[in-house]
Amino acid sequence: MTNNCNPSITIIVALDEQNAIGRNGDLLCHLPADLKHFRQVTSGHTIIMGRRTFESLPKGALPNRTNIVITSDNAINYPGCIVVRSVEEAFTHCNDDEKAFIIGGGQLYRSTFHLADHLYLTRIHHTFDDADTFFPEIDFSEWRLTEKEKHKADERHQYDYSFQTYIRKSI
């Protein structure tokens, strides 16, 4: 699949030093500043997620965003969400000049990474040995770092972490 759609495709993900993103259907750790960053970056935009990621959200659809969930189950209807069967169908619900965010999880990241033109990475400076879900390998020679902000662990954040923004060099 090539990116014939017009929305700009941005991936947003929190990953550890080995690209781990999840464990037992949940996130690896709780970083309040990352949740705030996620909310600030994605609010007002369209977010696209896999069915398992949607099912991991404690309160269902995220407010102030158009929520699109991808599943092969024709019978599912999630309140507050547009439910679609494929990535292509998800993009048909995006406006031409829109920024669409792929918010996970592992399966959806793997099938859309080649389409993304922007990456918002939260790098957790730790390795979680018991992770079971991973982000694909990133060839950083193809990406230009545009922003980087490092934070130290504190009483609310167990690990050091960095917000990193990349743009694909070829766009």
Which residues lie near ligand NAP (CB under 6 A)? Answer: 13-14, 21-22, 25-27, 50-53, 56, 70-73, 86-87, 103-108, 111, 133
Amino acid at 149: E
DSSP 14-32: EE-TT-EEEETTEESS--H
* Shortest reach from residue 138's CB to ligand NAP, in Å: 14
Residue with tokens 């972490």: 161
Strands (E) in 61-103, as ranges, are: 66-70, 81-84, 99-102
* Bridge partners of residue 67, in order along the sequence: 47, 81
* Shortest reach from residue 22's CB to ligand NAP, in Å: 2
Is the N-terminal amide bond of 44 cis, ω within 30° of 0? Answer: no
* Shortest reach from residue 58's CB to ligand NAP, in Å: 11
Amino acid at 85: R
Nearer to ligand NAP, 43 or 97 (CB): 43
* Shortest reach from residue 141's CB to ligand NAP, in Å: 23
Nearer to ligand NAP, 94 or 108 (CB): 108
Nearer to ligand NAP, 97 or 137 (CB): 137
* Shortest reach from residue 19's CB to ligand NAP, in Å: 10
Write down how long the chain is: 171
Nearer to ligand NAP, 111 or 164 (CB): 111
Nearer to ligand NAP, 56 or 164 (CB): 56
Cβ–Cβ under 8 Å, residues 90 and 48: yes
Tokens representing 162 are 């960095």
